[in-house]
Chain A
Amino acid sequence: MIYLDNAATAPLNEKAFLRAKDFITEYFYNPSARYRGGDEIARKLKSARKAVLSNIANDGFDLIFTSGGTEADNQAVFSSARRGNAVATAGEHSAVYECFTQLKSRGVEPRFAPLNRDGSVNESELLRLIDEKTTFVSVVHVNNETGAVNDICAIAKKIKSINPRIVFHSDGVQAYGKIPVRLTQDIDLYSISAHKIGALKGTGALVKNKTCNLQPLIFGGGQEGNLRSGTENTFGILCFCYAAEDILQNLRENGARLTQYREMLWELLEKPLFERISPDDGSPYILSVSAIGLKGEVLQRILWDNGVVVGTGSACSSKKPHSRVIEACGYGAKTLDGVLRLSFSPFTTQEEIKRSAFEINRAAKELKERLF
């Protein structure tokens, strides 16, 4: 089985899993317990926090562990967008987008900035939506469907120069561990997720600028500095930390190699059967294409039966006919129908790229023949 749906979720990083394993078997203590066992776990968590943060942020940042990217996004939006208007891009993941659609009923006006054809945000349109009443802005770092990268540092800087009181958030779920990230002082909040880099589902974090005031979504025992109650998922967090160490160590090599693979795969896909949606300078981990006029979901099942696993748009929203995000890029129905998202991991090999290109071509040609 060749797995090219890593942007939906990545296979387990076994090394990280084995290193963390003791924390469900032997060191199972509650980190809030004040006997030595608990203290030890608490220390471990502290260093895990540092490890996850290192390489993406300096001492001006902290993080709270959450149940995943979605919770982190929810907390960012509902904690900060409390009056006036809030601005996001039309390319946000549902975890931000759906929060924004809720804002209206809470008395906050949601605004969405249009996208460029590759899925990145149209910057000048975004900036035009910002005014003195804007309290919150969210710009996805890597578009999870096209792989387009928004230059969040530059965007955040421009936004803050218009209105410095704005809280700036970015969903970094597809960026963390995959492209170089360095959070600047203009960025207030940044969401990340563990299972996209080979750790577990159900673990994520909201990175926060120490100057940013955050409100809790979940109340209880006061864990995570009173910002996220609930006994810490120690095993999940340590797994996250070890997987992060692993992937961050080889970030640049992985990026260079996968960029090459991404381009190779695109070269191997037959034209004009396929149209490219992803930009050249996007995430090395995502190649979004369309088999024009065919149904992505049908191709996906044929490919599964032939040993290649691919995505169609975003796995979380596959129940809707077309991808909201790709539609916002300005494509027509025929292209939207055929969207396939091919996403890689550091373990993807050149051989797999070649074989999957062959299978994807074959499936599309066959399907076309059967239907027309």
Chain B
Amino acid sequence: MEKVVIIRYAEIHLKGKNRGYFERVFTVNLERSLKGIRHELHRISGRYLIANFDEERIDEILSRVSRVFGVHSYSLGLSVPNTLDDIFAAAKSVAPQSGTFKVDTHRGDKKYSLTSMQINAEIGGRLLDENKALSVDVHAPQGYVYIDIRENGMALVFGQFFEGAGGMPVGTSGKGLLLISGGIDSPVAGYMMSKRGMNVEYLHFHSYPYTNEQAKDKVIELARLLSRYALTEKLLTVSVTHIQEEIHAKCAAELNVTLLRRFMFRIAERVAKRKEAKCLITGESLGQVASQTIEGMTSSNAVVSLPVLRPLVGFDKNEIIERAKKIGTYETSVLPFEDCCTVFLPDFPAIKPKLSFIEEEESKLDIERLVVEALNSIEEYRF
């Protein structure tokens, strides 16, 4: 009898002839997420098993597995030879100590001598004989004993299914560049895209000395938290200080944010191309702030040719917050270190900026020089 973590995967089985590729990426991701903990990863048909692991760190193993995209569900259970005696021995340690229970058998090996119903009856009966405090309730039991008869003479016995992160293995859907701020939204946007299998790289814009080091540290921490899912290893930062100063000094105040965002998109696109990323990702949500109107988004899109993915565009703030809490980034996002200095925030930002007005104001700036200067300020933080 051996303790194992049973992992079932989500959509990978839908992928027909590409299945081998998806499974290879999934395996690599599982290995990466378990790095530093003693374990063995085995693939059996339709399942992965983590075996021979450091039992003292089981909680950590389970929490890491819970964050791997592509995992549909997982269980902590026992692997035994598929004889009834062995299965019963495992079932005893999985079954509740008292109250109602139900045995639920699944037969992966259709050649097994007993049917699922027969196994349920046999193991259930033995459990009742053994422990008088137990009774059977097949409709609403307090506890379960799941039995999974695999091929190759093995059975898995466990008491609980935990819901996995779902989605697709990170790395199976190309690469995107996330514009990450210290706020609540952008880490969630990054999460959504990596959930769909995208490799997400991070780019953060700061304006030191108008913003402080703590604001940057906060973004690094957010990126690190997000990377527990996204498996990204570094954050890039770019200084937009000079751009903000020039906009502030030369352009109409109500366009401050609109113009800055256009610069951010231009810079991001160049970074994305260097990194071979195929799209930009932002945490924008329609109408959330003045710059996130359809006019605002259009004005930013107008300066880039790469697609801009906005996975949160139809989300309400509280829906985003709920997700951020689930991912574990919310508490860090709400720390009080702002990533934009109030100097640059106009009293009345333009809500529906006209493209002609934007371009007229922008013509007062040496766009190319400012973009190149910003690109020269790139710094990299590994975590």
Contacts and interface: CB of A to CB of B under 8 A. Distances in A.
A316 interface: no
A301 B212 contact: yes
Interface in B230-251: 245, 248-249
A247 interface: no
B245 A295 contact: no
B249 A297 contact: no
A295 B248 contact: no
A319 B336 contact: yes
A371 B342 contact: no
A332 interface: no
A298 B341 CA distance: 9
B208 A371 contact: no
Contacts of B341: 295, 298
Contacts of A298: 209-210, 341, 343
A371 B212 contact: no
Contact of B249 (A295, A305, A319, A372): A372
A225 interface: no
B347 to A, nearest CB: 12
Interface string A336-372: 0000000000000000000000000000000000111
Interface string B200-222: 00000000111010000000000
A249 to B, nearest CB: 39
A272 interface: no
Chain A binding surface SS class: helix
Interface in A88-108: none
Given A321-B342, A371-B343, A301 B249 contact: no
Contacts of A321: 342
Interface residues of B, number: 11
B343 A370 contact: no
Nearest to A320: B336
Given A301-B208, A305-B209, A372-B249, A295 B343 contact: yes
B209 A371 contact: no
A89 to B, nearest CB: 27
Interface residues of A, number: 11
A181 interface: no
Nearest to B208: A301
A295 B210 contact: yes
B336 A371 contact: no
A372 B249 CA distance: 5
Interface in A274-316: 295, 297-298, 301-302, 305
B209 A370 contact: no
A302 B209 contact: yes
Interface string B329-365: 0000000100001110000000000000000000000
B248 A297 contact: no
A298 B208 CA distance: 8
A198 B21 CA distance: 65
Contacts of A305: 209
Given A298-B341, A319-B336, A370 B249 contact: yes
A371 B341 CA distance: 13
Contacts of A319: 336
Contacts of B336: 319
A169 to B, nearest CB: 30
Contact of A301 (B209, B245, B248, B342): B209
B217 to A, nearest CB: 14
Contacts of A297: 212
Interface string B160-175: 0000000000000000
B249 to A, nearest CB: 6
Nearest to B335: A319
Given A298-B341, A298-B343, A319-B336, A370 B210 contact: no
Contacts of B342: 295, 321
Q: Which of B249, B342, B343 has the most CB of A within 10 A?
A: B343
A371 B336 CA distance: 25
A319 B212 CA distance: 11
B57 to A, nearest CB: 36
Interface string A215-230: 0000000000000000
Contacts of B212: 297, 301
A370 to B, nearest CB: 5
Interface string A149-186: 00000000000000000000000000000000000000
A217 B341 CA distance: 40
B342 to A, nearest CB: 7
Nearest to A370: B245
Contacts of A370: 245, 249
B252 to A, nearest CB: 15
A321 B341 CA distance: 11
Nearest to A363: B209
A117 to B, nearest CB: 25
Contacts of B245: 370-371
A295 B245 CA distance: 13
A297 B249 CA distance: 20
A372 B341 CA distance: 16
Contacts of B248: 371
A305 B213 CA distance: 12
Q: Could you say which of B209, B210, B248, B342 has the most chain A C-beta atoms within 10 Å of its C-beta?
A: B209
Contacts of B210: 295, 298
B341 to A, nearest CB: 7
A291 to B, nearest CB: 13
Nearest to B336: A319
Nearest to A318: B212
A305 B212 CA distance: 12
A184 B19 CA distance: 86
A297 B248 CA distance: 18
A114 B313 CA distance: 49
B99 to A, nearest CB: 45
A298 B338 CA distance: 13
A305 B208 CA distance: 11
A295 B210 CA distance: 8
A297 to B, nearest CB: 7
A305 B209 CA distance: 9
Contacts of A301: 208-209, 212
Contacts of A371: 245, 248-249, 343
Nearest to A321: B342
19 contacts: A295-B210, A295-B341, A295-B342, A295-B343, A297-B212, A298-B209, A298-B210, A298-B341, A298-B343, A301-B208, A301-B209, A301-B212, A321-B342, A370-B245, A370-B249, A371-B245, A371-B249, A371-B343, A372-B249
Given A301-B209, A319-B336, A321-B342, 6 more contacts: A295-B343, A298-B209, A298-B341, A301-B208, A370-B245, A371-B249
List the 7 shortest-distance A-B pairs measured between CB atoms, nearest first: A301-B209, A370-B245, A302-B209, A298-B209, A298-B210, A319-B336, A295-B343
Interface of B: 208-210, 212, 245, 248-249, 336, 341-343
